[in-house]
Structure 1
Amino acid sequence: MATPPPAPTFAQLLRNEGATVVEVGDWETHNRNHKGPWGPVHGVMIHHTVTRGSANTVELCRAGYTGLPGPLCHGVITKDGRVHLVGYGRANHAGLGDPDVLAAVIADRRAPVDDEATVDGNRHFYGFECENMGDGEDPWPEIQLLAIERVAAAICRHHGWNVNSVIGHLDWQPGKSDPRGFTMASMRERVAKRLAPAATPTKPKPLPTPTKPTVDLSRLRTAALKDPKAKGTPVTYSGTRIVEAALVDAGLLEKPRLDGHFGTATRDAYAAWQRSKAGGSYHGDDADGVPGKDSLTRLGAKHGFTVVA
């Protein structure tokens, strides 16, 4: 069950949805409430006016005519996309309609084809008359369709309804054709897109923290202690290239010597590291170019690798 909001709130919720609202005269109190109740409300009904000219259309819908007093709707949507509020409360727009359609609207499901007219629709629907001749040839400007979309979405958003609460007069009362020139299915699709929650941007997955390469001290020493001048195949170990790259970065080894073998040039460069770069902690025979845990750990700390003892 939905209770219509106060008139000022109604006007504001249409504006909040982006509609251009024109308040006409005493619209807030202009109604047919003395003829019957208005509410609970269950949906929004769209009509065409079979008129030309905005001023004439608005006045006709506000005042009505002999045999059908105004207001004839709550808002008139003119071809320029403005929403003219002409009444608030019970309005002579829907007439009698199909109880199965009303039940479907209340249940927020697609309405069946209307085949009877026994239920008071003026009590249960907001009504919007749209300036158009209704002959299937009079065009519907996009700005006018956008205004219909906005008012329907604003009311559905306020009451928490889905798009099945947006119907045309032709969905309600047998023999009616309005609105003609666009389909209510296409309008409901527009309203659904407007009501859809904005997509929440997904946060990019953080890049994995790069793992530092490791150098096995024992295997590196085996490679370093192999006599560089001895005959036979040199002892190779992938960690040697990591250490050589660090020595190149430190400016102690020429890049062409980065060959993965702990030869004379690599050993001399490492000795230079022990003497000067490693805190000046090694002198004489201690700076022998053979990696030890302390000097290698210091080299790794500066050049991005860890030492496994």
Structure 2
Amino acid sequence: MATPLSASAVLTALRAEGVTVVEVGNWRTHNRNTKGAWGPLNGSIVHHTVTKGTASTVAMVRDGYTALPGPLCHGMIAKDGRVHMVGWGRTNHAGGGDAHVLDQVITESYGTHPTPPTKGNANGTDGNARFYGWECENLGDGKAPWPKVQYDAIVRVQAALCRAHGWSAKSVIGHLEWSSDKVDPRGFTMADLRASVAERLKHPASWSPSTSSPVPAPPKEKPVASTDSKVTALHTNLLSIGEIGTTAKGTSSGRVEHGAGYYLAHILNEVRQLRADVADLKKEK
């Protein structure tokens, strides 16, 4: 467990790692701290935005939307590799997740992947209190490219946090590894990303490889399995609409309190992806 870095300290860590940082407005004090705890922190979560266009994406993750107020992350890693800092403190990025995954991240005791999560937004542990969160500009369909400069920035950001806290790469997870109803990030595997972070941590923060490793190719999707999992996730979210949970206290057993609009917004994103998967499945027949 670790005390969250200050805004000044995270800037120092990121810039030492070679990250190009863009400070957006009052990001140092823009947060959701009035809604719950932030810290102690146990790791960092990588997300994709399901958006296109850097300016509009920055605005969205900073301000949020009607169903989910911003900030929605601490920083947004754009296609060009620049990291837009939009908030510092508690942010609406992780939602509910699996306490068993949290335990494995704390102890860094898992193998290639943490145990698949069985808890999600509706019934999970409060991840907003326990993780840094980084949104990455991408359509999230498993086909949209991840430019090398963006992938390199993702690696550098995660390495900077691990280096600052003395964590290994196993303190970095994807949203899909935290919550049973999430699929992000898509287009590379978290095992590959952690390997890239681990390699970087073997060198000084100023290190730049002479030749950048290529971004792993998107994995071959299995539409049937993917579709089945999305139907299950949608059903879980629908059942949770209107349910009132208790406010999380930063403990492993804490519940996450969200309004119905929160779930509706995420269900909309899942429906869009479900339609795309069905279309792909039809093409293969």
Q: Same fold (TM over 0.5)?
A: yes
Question: Identity over the aligned pairs, expressed in percent?
Answer: 60
1:41-60 to 2 correspondences below 5 Å: 41-60=41-60
Match of 1:161 in 2: 167
How many residues are paired up? 198
Give, in whole Å, the separation in 2 of the partners of 1:99 and 1:76.
26
Give, in whole Å, the separation in 1 of the partners of 2:24 and 2:128.
21
Instruction: Give 1:175 deviation, angstroms.
Output: 2.1
Cα distance per residue 1:6-51 (max 9 Å; x no partner): 1111111111101000000000000000000100000010000000
1:99-178 to 2 correspondences below 5 Å: 99-110=99-110, 111-117=114-120, 118-178=124-184
Secondary structure of 1:140 counterpart: coil
Give, in whole Å, the separation in 2 of the partners of 1:51 and 1:93.
15
Match of 2:194 in 1: 188
1:14-53 to 2 correspondences below 5 Å: 14-53=14-53
Give, in whole Å, the separation in 2 of the partners of 1:12 and 1:22.
13
Unaligned runs of 5+ in 1: 199-309
Give, in whole Å, the separation in 1 of the partners of 2:79 and 2:187.
13
Give, in whole Å, the separation in 1 of the partners of 2:132 and 2:5.
12
Give, in whole Å, the separation in 1 of the partners of 2:91 and 2:137.
17
Matched to 1:2, the amino acid is: A
Instruction: Give 1:197 deviation, angstroms.
Output: 4.5
Give, in whole Å, the separation in 2 of the partners of 1:31 and 1:156.
22
Give, in whole Å, the separation in 2 of the partners of 1:54 and 1:114.
31
Unaligned runs of 5+ in 2: 205-285
Secondary structure of 2:28 counterpart: coil
Matched to 1:116, the amino acid is: K
Alignment RMSD, CA only? 0.9
Give, in whole Å, the separation in 1 of the partners of 2:168 and 2:117.
20
Give, in whole Å, the separation in 2 of the partners of 1:66 and 1:152.
30
Matched to 1:18, the amino acid is: G
| More contact order relative to length (CA 8 Å, sep ≥ 6) | 2
1:56-95 to 2 correspondences below 5 Å: 56-95=56-95
Give, in whole Å, the separation in 1 of the partners of 2:55 and 2:126.
29
Secondary structure of 2:27 counterpart: coil
Give, in whole Å, the separation in 2 of the partners of 1:4 and 1:95.
18
Greater Rg, structure 1 or structure 2?
1
What is the TM-score of this pair, normalised by structure 2? 0.68
Cα distance per residue 1:162-204 (max 9 Å; x no partner): 1110000000000211000000011000000000157xxxxxx
Matched to 2:50, the amino acid is: V
What is the TM-score of this pair, normalised by structure 1? 0.63
Q: Which runs of 4+ in 1 moved over 2 A?
A: none
